[in-house]
Amino acid sequence: MSLIAGVDIGNSTTEVCVGEAAADGTIHFLTSASRPTTGTKGTVANTHAIKAALNRAMSSIGRTISDISLIRLNEAAPVIGDTAMETLTETIITDSSMIGHNPSTPAGAGQAVGEILLIDNLSRGIPGTPYIVAADDSYSYEEVAAILNQSADTLDIAGVILKADEAVLVENRLRKKIPIIDEVARIDKLPDGVLAAIEVALPGQTVRMLSNPYGIATLLHLNAEETRTVTPIAKSLIGKRSAVVLKTPGGNVRENVLPAGEIYLNAENSASINLDEGAAEIMKAVADAGKIHDISGQPDTNVGNMLTRIKRGMGELDHTPDADIRITDILAVDTLAPVLISGALAGETCLEKAVGIAAMVKTQHLPMREIADKLKMELGTDVRIAGVEAVMASLGALTTPGTKLPLAILDMGGGSTDAAVISEDGRVTMTHQAGAGELVSMLIETELGLGDRHIAEQIKKYPLAKVESLFHMRMENGQMTFVDESIDPRFYGRVILLAEDGYIRIEKELPMEKIVQVRRDAKRKVFVTNAFRALKSVAPGQDLKNISNVVLVGGSAEDFEIPEMLMEEFADYRIVCGRGNIRGTEGPRNAVATGLVLSYAGERQ
């Protein structure tokens, strides 16, 4: 009897399976475990996670790593994802700016136009000239209200901008009701004497004039050329409760446009395609190219810089002199990305069309041999590189109850989507394609403007709810859920994630419906697109109708909505599709690690 360990190094998770091999070639599975992958997949840094996972697995059966006779590793190909902007216009406003953040407490309603006048300079005001008064936090709300009431008889005060969170408190004390915006952190940057338009929407509504370039032109008397330059500003104010736009002195707005660029496919049918044509046309060009040897981008463009950066990152992992670093597959998806408008006073961004790209990066020398040698030295155990992920996943998937040959599998991980078809006589056809869970997280982070990959991962994994009282919440499907014990007041009125170990509050002020839409769209763009192109490439005759059963495995198959999405999409092809249950106990995880142990028995025979 000897103990055999299969180790699957994934982009996000490293999984192990330990089995006991009998003299007659049969395998008795003993235990399994997983740990987060350390370092980039396919690099020596992975050894830390491998050892941690092996320790956890062996300790669960009262054994140690030294009892293992053989460790079998999968061939791990790194997959690196990044985004490329289709258009990127940087609007630089030098002497003035615009404010369009979304404070939770503006006061008043309506639009007003006037010159910016600092509250310290009210004595310089000219009767009959409309003013927008700006006050920093050196004045209390009582002082601001008193000064405004005192000046209201002699000056035309059309609106107010405050640094402190006190708009409602000031408005309650004014004799004349005017729109007031607060929470403007960099109020000291407001230029005195510049014409400004202010708008505060009614509760439940958003600004209308200042989110429309022609509305801004109407209020600030702009010509056609000036209207064109304020378009990014107007776009950034869509959906805001309040906004201010300042009329920039002539000559202070300039644009710096970096071209989107072309993608060059070095393949059987070499081709080039411009990023501006969008994800659908890019993926059509990839499909028509045949076997791809390498993908590169036009120099000094968005996509060229991105692909160069990806290759450079891989070059840091492969230090061999003859390193042949190639991008062999990409998945492109359309998205929207918030672009920061330079010169803004409150971090304003405007949404620009972008293309998200996951790239499959390969080198002539994958560092797997180094990983095996290091493990062998540190553990004193025989270590071998034993199989390709898609083949091993297929073997593992066959341990799912209710499966038989022929069988197709989709292995959906963090960085790549693998597909394989095993024929009745045991022949395996496989493909390894870029794009999976990490690209979904990147799209969620980008489209929602989170600036936090961890919370994007959480949004991807868990359903949402809105806490509407301390004893009930509205789920994302509209269902009302009541609780026996009071909900923590910190969650009141907030959108939360329903994690296994408690609630997670979404700190960014975003409507629950928008988060749900972005999450579901990102999953469809990545997983549905990749599932179809992967299965089509391995299906007999490249026709999905020749596939009858698909088993979903990998970490992303555990997702609470991806399998259902795929089931709906495959229904038109009469394909039976569902989550795998590896060895009848593991769910969709551990397929590759299990396959590595099973393949040992096959090699012995």
Domain enclosing residue 47, as ranges: 1-77+366-401+586-605
Show the tokens assigned to 285.
């060009």
Is there a single domain that holds both residue 406 and residue 392? no
pLDDT of residue 108: 85
Is there a single domain that holds both residue 438 and residue 375? no
Q: Write out the DSSP string of 520-540.
A: HHHHIIIIIHHHHHHHHHHSG
Q: Write out the DSSP string of 406-466.
A: SEEEEEE-SSEEEEEEE-TTS-EEEEEEE-SHHHHHHHHHHHHT---HHHHHHHHHS-EEE
Is there a single domain that holds both residue 478 and residue 494? yes
- Prediction pTM value: 0.77
Boundary residue ending a domain (251, 284, 300): 251
- Condensed to tens digits (0 to 9), the pLDDT of residues 470-480 reads 999 999 999 99
Is there a single domain that holds both residue 245 and residue 358? no
Instruction: Look over the chain and give the mean of its residue pLDDT values, rounded to a whole number.
Output: 85
Residue 343 has pLDDT above 70, yes or no: no
Boundary residue ending a domain (192, 227, 251): 251
pLDDT of residue 95: 38
Residue 161 has pLDDT above 60, yes or no: yes
Is there a single domain that holds both residue 491 and residue 443? yes
Q: What is the CATH number of the domain that holds 136?
A: 3.50.30.70
Element spanning 176, H or E: none
Residue 255: Cβ within 10 Å count: 11
Q: What gap in Å lies between CA 362 and CA 311, rounded to an integer?
A: 9
Whether 112 contacts 276, CB under 8 Å: no
Which SS3 state, helix, strand or coil, does residue 402 take? coil
Span 481-491, average pLDDT: 91
Q: What is the CATH number of the domain that holds 313?
A: 3.90.470.30
Is there a single domain that holds both residue 188 and residue 40? no
Boundary residue ending a domain (229, 251, 273): 251
Is there a single domain that holds both residue 417 and residue 565? yes
Is there a single domain that holds both residue 406 and residue 540? yes
Is there a single domain that holds both residue 144 and residue 208? yes
291 or 389, which is more confident: 291
Please, how many CA atoms are within 13 Å of residue 284, restricted to the half-sphere of its CB?
8
Is there a single domain that holds both residue 24 and residue 117? no
Q: What gap in Å lies between CA 494 and CA 465, rounded to an integer?
A: 9
Is there a single domain that holds both residue 138 and residue 197? yes
Domains identified in the chain, total number: 4
Max CA-CA distance within the chain?
101
- Condensed to tens digits (0 to 9), the pLDDT of residues 532-565 reads 999 999 998 888 888 988 999 998 999 999 999 9
Going from the C-alpha of 16 to that of each of 38, 72, 327, 413, the distances in angstroms are 14, 10, 29, 15
Is there a single domain that holds both residue 191 and residue 283? no
Q: What is the CATH number of the domain that holds 463?
A: 3.30.420.40
